[in-house]
Chain A
Amino acid sequence: MVEEIGKTVEGDLVINVGPQHPATHGVLHLVITLNGETIKKVEPHLGYIHRSIEKMCESLSYRQFIYSTSRMDYLSAHINNHACALCVEKGLQIEIPERAQVIRVLMDELTRIASHELWWGAMAMDLGAFTPFFHAFRERETINDIMEETCGARLTMNYMVPGGVMADLHPNFQSRVKNFLKLYKSKIHEYDELVTGNIIFQNRMKGVGYLSQEDVISYGVTGPAGRGSGVSCDVRKLYPYEIYNKLEFDEVLETAGDSFARYMVRLREMQQSIRIVEQLIDNIPDGDYQAKTKAVLKLPKGEFYQRVETARGELGVYIVSEGGTTPYRIKFRSPGFSNLSALDHMTRGGKIGDLVASMGTLDLVIPDIDR
Chain B
Amino acid sequence: MTNEELKNLLTELLPTAVFEEGGEWLNLFLEASEWKETALKLRHFNTMPFNFMFCLTCVDWKTHFTMVYHLRSTTTLDNIVVKVKLDRTNPEIITVSDIWRTAELLEREVYDLFGVQFLEHPDLRRLLLTDDWVGYPLRKDYEDPINMIKL
Contacts and interface: CB of A to CB of B under 8 A. Distances in A.
Given A55-B137, A238-B77, A329-B60, A217 B128 contact: no
Contacts of A337: 105-106, 109
Contacts of A329: 57, 59-60, 138
A305 interface: yes
Contacts of B70: 305, 316, 318, 333
Interface residues of B, number: 32
Majority secondary structure, B binding face = loop
Contacts, number: 85
A267 to B, nearest CB: 25
Contact of A52 (B55, B101, B127, B137): B137
Interface in B37-93: 51-55, 57, 59-60, 68, 70, 74, 77
Interface stretch (A138-146, A279-287, A338-346): A338-346
Contact of A218 (B25, B54, B77, B101): B101
B145 interface: no
Contacts of B24: 90, 304-305
B54 A316 contact: yes
Majority secondary structure, A binding face = mixed
A55 B54 contact: no
Nearest to A50: B128
B150 A59 contact: yes
A218 B100 contact: yes
Contacts of B128: 46-47, 50, 370
A331 interface: yes
Chain A residues touching B, range: 35 or more
A341 B22 contact: no
Contact of A320 (B53, B59, B104): B59
A333 B102 CA distance: 12
Interface string A21-61: 00000000000000000000000101100101011000110
Contact of B74 (A217, A314, A345): A217
Contacts of A239: 77
Interface of B: 22-25, 51-55, 57, 59-60, 68, 70, 74, 77, 100-102, 104-106, 109, 113, 127-130, 137-138, 150-151
Given A220-B54, A302-B23, A320-B59, 18 more contacts: A47-B129, A59-B151, A60-B151, A218-B51, A218-B101, A219-B102, A220-B53, A220-B101, A222-B54, A238-B77, A302-B22, A303-B23, A316-B70, A329-B60, A331-B57, A333-B54, A337-B109, A341-B102
